[in-house]
Amino acid sequence: MKNSKTQTSSVPDSDTIFSQAPQTLATALVEGVGYMTKCLKCAAEVTDPLKEWDIRPKSGRGAALHIRLFQCPTCGHKFRVTLKAT
């Protein structure tokens, strides 16, 4: 016999999560939380970089790099995140 009780869990199902993901991401980008990264030592969320800059190869060959310097608000550790510049 199957239980006819409906599920009243507070955890949303995967369809709800994936349907709301674009809205959540768009909201985060509009509010200025576009640089979400985690501290390498304490895994705290860090949102604002201290400094950003681009590095281009002298020879002109290869991709340019965009570097962001972050400082963790919890432990004070400074770390860099490197991306290919567009």
- The tens place of each residue's pLDDT in the chain, 86 residues long, gives 555 555 555 555 656 655 655 555 544 444 444 567 889 899 899 988 999 999 998 888 888 899 999 999 999 999 999 888 76
Sequence-distant contacts of 36-42: CB under 8 A, at least 24 apart: 37/70, 37/81, 39/70, 39/72, 39/74, 39/75, 39/77, 39/79, 40/77, 40/79, 41/72, 41/75, 41/77, 42/72, 42/74, 42/75, 42/77
Asked whether the whole model's pTM tops 0.75, one would answer: no
